[in-house]
Amino acid sequence: MSNRDELKEELLQTDADFRRLYEEHQDYEQRLHDLQSKSLLSQEDEAEEKRIKLHKLVLKDHMEVIIRAHQESRVSA
């Protein structure tokens, strides 16, 4: 397991904001998977797929900010 993976695991245990973002990201991942498993997507489905992908990206960006802040605090400590 890489240091980054270890940090993510630690944050899941210790940082409520990170855990909330991660769980929300996982929920969107599941919704996206369910949507993509359909054989034919309607226009509504395609719009929903775009919204989900955008939300996932925003959540991932927020998680990255938290990870970087923790990495930097460890380096400077």
> For the segment 36-48, what is each residue's pLDDT rounded down to a tens digit?
999 899 999 999 9
The parent domain of residue 27 ranges over: 3-76
Instruction: Give the C-alpha separation, 49 to 55, whole Å.
Output: 10
Domain count, the chain: 1
Which tokens go with 55?
A: 């939300």
Task: Give this prediction's pTM.
Answer: 0.86
Mean per-residue pLDDT for 14-42? 96
pLDDT at residue 76 is higher than 80: no
Q: Above 90 in pLDDT, residue 77? A: no
Sign of CA pseudo-dihedral 62, 11, 36, 41: negative
CA distance 12 to 35: 27
Q: Is the pLDDT of residue 75 over 80?
A: no
| Distance, CA of 7 to CA of 38 (rounded, Å) | 36
